[in-house]
Amino acid sequence: NVWCAAGKGSFSAAEIARRVEGTGLKDIVRHRTLILPQLSAPGVAAHAVALRTGFTVLYGPVRARDIPAYLKAGKSKTGEMGRIGFSAADRLILGPVEFLQASPIAGILAAGMLVLEALARRLFLPAAWGRQEVL
């Protein structure tokens, strides 16, 4: 997800410049334009890419599949090209991934909590029910 990567700094001007330089892109293409996903804009300083590589950055459509239409329209986006849905299912998928990436220890803590919960069900809850006390 380029939006999250840009926000975290792993999809940044420095990373793009490193890739452009590392691939020798200036020797492969005649143009000096990079079309980046619109959602990468928060993490990519276009002027920094241009200064380091000589390539101009254009923030194109949200989805790569819209790039041919974007180019055909003279590098102009329609409203639909600039929108993306983020459904509840998308959020459910990304939530645990983000949680685990945020802290490597998070997975260990989650597993520990599950073990403690299982112990509580086996040891503590039967004893509590057996007391027959009303609080």
- What is the SS3 assignment for the chain? CHHHHHHHCCCCHHHHHHHHHHHCHHHHCCCCEEEECHHHHHHCCHHHHHHHHCCEEEECCCCHHHHHHHHHCCCCCCCHHHCCCCCHHHHHHHHHHHHHHHCCHHHHHHHHHHHHHHHHHHHHHHHHHHCCCCC
pTM of whole model > 0.85? no
Residues 98-128: pLDDT tens digits? Answer: 766 777 777 788 788 888 887 777 766 666 6
Residue 48 predicted with pLDDT over 80: yes
* CA separation for the pair 38, 2 (Å, rounded): 9
How many of the other CB atoms lie within 10 Å of CB of 35? Answer: 16
What pLDDT is stored for residue 130 in this prediction?
62
Of 26 and 134, which is predicted with more confidence? 26
Cα dihedral: 65, 66, 69, 70 (round 10)? -130
Q: Which of 5-14, 62-71, 103-112, 114-123 has the highest mean pLDDT?
A: 62-71
Convert the pLDDT of each residue in 30-47 to its tens digit: 999 999 988 888 888 999
